[in-house]
Amino acid sequence: MYDLAVDLKTVTPAGVRRALRERTEIGLLDVRPEGIYSDGHPLFAASFPLGRLEVDAFDRLPRRSAPLVVYGQGVGDASVAIARLQNLGYVDVSLLEGGIAGWSASGGEIFRDVNTPSKAFGELVAAIARTPAIPPEDLAAMLSSGSDVVVVDARRFEEYQTMSIPTATNVPGAELVMRVGTLAPDPATTVVVNCAGRTRSIIGTQSLINAGLPNRVLALRNGTIGWKLAGFALEHGTKQGPPQAGQQQARWASDTAWAVAARVGVRQISGSELQSIAQAGTRTVYRFDVRTPEEYAAGHRVGFRSAPGGQLVQETDSFAPIRGALVVIAGDEGGRAAMTASWLAQMGWEVRILQAEADASQLKQGPWQPSLPSLPVVKLVSSDELETWVADAETVVIDVDSSPRFRAGHVPGAAWAQRTDLPAFSWRQVAERLSKKAVARLVLTSADGILATFAAATDAQRGERRDEPAVFVHAGGTAGWSATGRRLETGPEPVLSATTDVYRRPYEGTSVHPAAMQAYLEWEYGLVAQLERDGTHGFNVLA
């Protein structure tokens, strides 16, 4: 168990806002569940749920001496988060004085939703650069009449496959400048860029305009949301991926992207200079590779995290919670690093592009693997043994991973709960809810067993009550169970906690109520006014 007897040093909301305006390093961490976080938070507060803290900390907070300020639903969960961060080696962790209520009472602006800095920035780009847009009705007319138009979807492939505009080709944001010329080689062809809502449509369209693409380029107003609200049908399961770019197109993309990046102060950094900064330990340094995940897996620089450029710009608060940090992007062919860097610089980040120094022998293969603390020692149970335990009248299996993952597939007989709720559970009531005789043996599981391991060590074992069950961790988790050929159950039941662990995005999925989609769009349109009232953003849009 972690020692919760920590000295709760505090920082005022005014102190946080001062650091943001001065661009000194600060990480403002909201440790509430994402679903609650999305109801309201400061602009640069990063969603950092307490239930995932150990598995997220090392990659998202790479410098242990960076100043961190924490708040939660109250002092209780914030103090637990502070204790855990200190036990992980973070030495400058404070409590936000007054929490979210104190922030609001002090005049701080409250923002809804997730990835809000990027979405607010996108709206500011549209307002200042006057990014041209096309209503869905006009695009539908062009498509039905056979006009010379190419539609490109700037989202991740998984999102595109879920729902897409008819005829659209998936070209994720950072790939647009390099690949669109292959799809639309004739300058007379109109290019329409869409996403689910607004941000990636705006940024993608403006990327092509900033790069000087000779075609007419338009953002689909309000993306797939606008298309659906206008009464048009979406396609599902489409697999039209991005085309290969020729050498001439890649060279053009690189030259134009570098020209844009230079206009906003992006420079290169040598490997030795980067190493010197990292060794000094006075700056937080984020290292990202913005190519496709497939290219990353084929060979990448050691220490660089896979962060496809479009998503990095879209989810900067998730990838880089320390505002004021240095962002270093691995150089590439085709201008993806330069174009991504140009957007991050406009968002107020200090960005450098690593010089292309590495040879093939210095590259590492394989997908990105998260950095993790040493796993605590727990009692493990194999899938073979767990299969014999599931039907036991006094054994309960609880999955502590995300509720969407649980719904998609879980060990048969398992229930779902938020990890942070475990310490407050009445095991007698849990037994009654699950029609068990008692809870003499508790098995925790998760996608790969890692999150369950931390939960077993910190949340499930209180050791003070006579009715505490013996706690085990399912070795390998759901993935290990499935790898043995065993079937998974799907569906949302049974649940032992409120499913506030995630925020259901109004722009994802196919069953969102139209009123929720419309409300989301109206919120986005109001973000520029919120930025002005907030006064901490530091954005500087290239006009």
Query: Which domains, and CATH codes, for the chain?
Result: 10-113 (3.40.250.10), 121-245 (3.40.250.10), 261-362 (3.40.250.10), 380-483 (3.40.250.10)
Question: Region 495-521: what's the mean pLDDT?
Answer: 89
- Local confidence band at 462 (pLDDT 50, 70, 90 cut-offs): low
Q: What is the 3-state secondary structure (H, E, C) of 206-255?
A: HHHHHHCCCCCEEEECCHHHHHHHCCCCCECCCCCCCCCCCHHHHHHHHH
Amino acid in position 213: L
pTM above 0.75, yes or no: yes
Residues 288-341: tens digit of each pLDDT: 999 999 999 999 999 999 999 999 999 999 999 999 999 999 988 899 999 999
Residues 172-197: tens digit of each pLDDT: 999 999 999 999 999 999 999 999 99
Q: What is the pLDDT of residue 468?
A: 84
Question: Region 74-101: what's the mean pLDDT?
Answer: 96
Contact predicate 459/444, CB 8 Å: no
- Local confidence band at 5 (pLDDT 50, 70, 90 cut-offs): very low
State the residue for tokens 């998260």: 370
Q: What is the pLDDT of residue 465?
A: 52
Q: What is the pLDDT of residue 480?
A: 97
Q: What is the pLDDT of residue 2?
A: 38
How confident is the prediction for the chain on average, in pLDDT? 94
* Pairwise CA distance, residues 482 & 122, whole Å: 41
Q: What is the pLDDT of residue 543?
A: 83
Q: What is the pLDDT of residue 129?
A: 97
Question: Region 62-67: what's the mean pLDDT?
Answer: 98
Phi, psi of 348 (to 5 degrees): 95, 10
Q: What is the pLDDT of residue 143?
A: 98
Q: What is the pLDDT of residue 295?
A: 95
* Pairwise CA distance, residues 56 & 388, whole Å: 33
User: What are the residues facing 489 on neighbouring strands?
Assistant: 410
SS3 257: helix
Does the pLDDT of residue 351 top 50, yes or no?
yes
Q: What is the side-by-side order of every strand in the sheet holding 169-170?
A: 133-134, 217-220, 190-194, 149-153, 169-170
* Pairwise CA distance, residues 15 & 94, whole Å: 12
Does the pLDDT of residue 379 top 70, yes or no?
yes
Question: Region 51-74: what's the mean pLDDT?
Answer: 97
Residues ≥6 apart with Cβ < 8 Å to 439:
394, 395, 396, 427, 428, 430, 431, 467, 469
Question: Region 382-402: what's the mean pLDDT?
Answer: 96
* Pairwise CA distance, residues 428 & 323, whole Å: 45
Q: What percent of the chain lies above the pLDDT cut of 70?
A: 97
Per-position b or e across 480-511, b if 16+ CB within 10 A of its CB: bbeeeeeeeeeeeeebbbebbbbbebbbeeee
Tokens of 504: 């259901």
Question: Region 192-207: what's the mean pLDDT?
Answer: 97
Question: Region 244-264: what's the mean pLDDT?
Answer: 95
Least confident stretch, 93-102, 119-128, 513-522: 513-522
* Pairwise CA distance, residues 76 & 519, whole Å: 33
Amino acid in position 104: S
Residues ≥6 apart with Cβ < 8 Å to 525:
123
